[in-house]
């Protein structure tokens, strides 16, 4: 049944891609879309819009969605923390800040260049938040990690905003990063980050058995023959690659990595061997639908997908926290 569910989600994902290509500030019919994908007429404006704007944007949604959904699931599994999320724990904000610094200070202008800054930022902030959340006798509890991540994320966003406001050229180039957007995705940029996404996805998908063992506790995992340090290293590498690449493409998009693993867990149960592939499909579906919604409700302009995801994800996060607090009473 779970395998059939993956097939069904694959069909839904294809439908979400078609919606993303069809709907926007310039409405197109499905025949226009199929014509643009099947024929090439340089003088056709509709075909130009589809090929140069909407297809790259849709591919970016697929890559970013899968990356954030998988990274959120891996973070929740390796930290045994249902509140773990690349946005909530500040990983995306750290990657964004380092990219902006790379552009503003070091003059990096290509995705293949600043993606390395995103990786460094994601890694540094992930380690920093975990270290801050581990302070105290009880160690890194879910609530402490969430609070530490929220505080660090707010500070990093403030610094990023300060850099952008003091550097007009950087602000003009990457102002969409303030909320996260798929609008600026370009084919060359997607080609630059695609290898990192592929490696990150593969690493994340192979951690399913490791995460199942870690969810039982370190002592039980060791008794089952798992190498705890190696499992955490592989998981951390997957998270850094996925978050860094996703941020390099779309900027910091929050709540996607938090909500999707929980939706997948409702369907699959606690087995990460199923949670991970379900998250890899559910996340781009949710991201693409949110992106289409943002384009439709604000015609002829648009709401960035980061704003739409915040509207969707914030109530879910509040309900999750309330549910955990009630369970602890």
Instruction: Give the chain's domain count.
Output: 1
68 or 138, greater pLDDT: 68
* Residue 329 pLDDT greater than 50, yes or no: no
Query: Computed from CA positions of residues 216, 219, 222, 223, in that sequence, does the dihedral angle turn out positive or negative?
Result: negative
Q: Is residue 166 part of a domain?
A: yes
Q: Is residue 47 part of a domain?
A: no
Per-residue pLDDT reduced to its tens digit, 72-107: 999 888 877 777 778 777 888 888 889 888 888 888
* Residue 284 pLDDT greater than 90, yes or no: yes
pTM for this entry: 0.86
Per-residue pLDDT reduced to its tens digit, 205-225: 999 998 998 887 777 778 878
Dihedral, CA of residue 156, residue 144, residue 247 and residue 193, to nearest 10? 130
Lowest mean pLDDT among 22-26, 29-33, 150-154: 29-33
Q: Is residue 255 part of a domain?
A: yes
Listed as own residue / partner, the contacts of 8-15 with beta carbons closer than 8 Å and 24 or more positions apart are 9/278, 9/281, 9/282, 9/285, 10/281, 12/285, 13/62, 13/281, 13/284, 13/285, 13/288
pLDDT recorded at residue 327: 46
Query: What is the residue range of 242's domain?
Result: 58-328
With helix as H, strand as E and coil as C, how does the chain read? CHHHHHHHHHHHHHHHHHHHHHCCCCCCCHHHHHHHHHCCCCCCHHHHHHHHHHHHHHHHHHHHHHHHHHHHHHHHHHHCCCCCCCCCCCHHHHHHHHHHHHHHHHCCCCHHHHHHHHHHHHHHHHHHHHHHHCCCCCCCCHHHHHHHHHHHHHHHHHHHHHHHHHCHHHHHHHHHHHCCCCCCCCHHHHHHHHHHHHHHHHHHHCCHHHHHHHCCCHHHHHHCCCCHHHHHHHHHHHHHHHHHHHHHHHCCCCCHHHHHHHHHHHHHCCCHHHHHHHHHHHHHHHHHHHHHHHHHHCCCCCCCHHHHHHHHHHHHHHHHHHHHHHHHC
The domain that holds 81 is classified in CATH as 1.10.3470.10
Residue carrying structure tokens 């380690």:
127
* Residue 35 pLDDT greater than 80, yes or no: no
Neighbours of 319 (CB within 10 A): 10
Q: Is residue 12 part of a domain?
A: no
Q: Is residue 150 part of a domain?
A: yes
Q: Is residue 39 part of a domain?
A: no
Q: Is residue 115 part of a domain?
A: yes
Q: Is residue 302 part of a domain?
A: yes
């Amino acid at each position: 049944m779970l395998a059939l569910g993956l097939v069904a989600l694959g069909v839904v994902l294809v439908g979400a891609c078609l919606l993303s290509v069809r709907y926007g500030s310039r409405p197109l019919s499905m025949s226009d879309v199929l014509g643009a994908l099947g024929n090439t007429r340089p003088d056709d404006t509709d075909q130009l819009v589809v090929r140069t704007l909407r297809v790259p944007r849709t591919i970016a949604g697929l890559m970013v969605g899968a990356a954030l959904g998988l990274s959120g699931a891996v973070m929740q599994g390796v930290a045994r923390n249902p509140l773990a999320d690349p946005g909530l724990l500040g990983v995306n904000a750290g990657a964004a800040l380092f990219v902006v610094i790379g552009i503003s200070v070091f003059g990096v202008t290509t995705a293949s260049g600043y993606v390395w800054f995103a990786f460094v930022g994601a890694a540094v902030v992930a380690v920093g938040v975990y270290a801050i959340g581990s302070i105290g006798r009880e160690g890194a509890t879910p609530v402490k990690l969430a609070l530490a991540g929220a505080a660090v994320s707010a500070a990093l966003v403030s610094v990023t905003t300060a850099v952008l406001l003091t550097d007009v050229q950087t602000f003009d180039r990457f102002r969409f990063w303030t909320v996260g957007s798929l609008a600026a995705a370009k084919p060359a940029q997607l080609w630059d980050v695609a290898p990192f996404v592929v490696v990150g996805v593969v690493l994340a998908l192979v951690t399913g058995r490791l995460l199942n063992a870690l969810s039982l506790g370190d002592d039980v995992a060791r008794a089952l023959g798992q190498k705890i340090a190696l499992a955490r290293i592989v998981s951390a590498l997957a998270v850094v690659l996925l978050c860094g690449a996703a941020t390099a493409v779309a900027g910091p998009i929050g709540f996607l990595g938090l909500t999707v693993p929980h939706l997948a867990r409702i369907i699959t149960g606690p087995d990460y061997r199923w949670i991970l592939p379900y998250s890899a499909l559910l996340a781009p579906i949710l991201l693409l639908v949110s992106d289409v919604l943002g384009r439709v409700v604000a015609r002829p302009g648009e709401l960035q997908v980061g704003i739409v995801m915040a509207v969707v994800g914030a109530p879910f996060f509040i309900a999750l926290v309330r549910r955990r607090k009630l369970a602890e009473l």
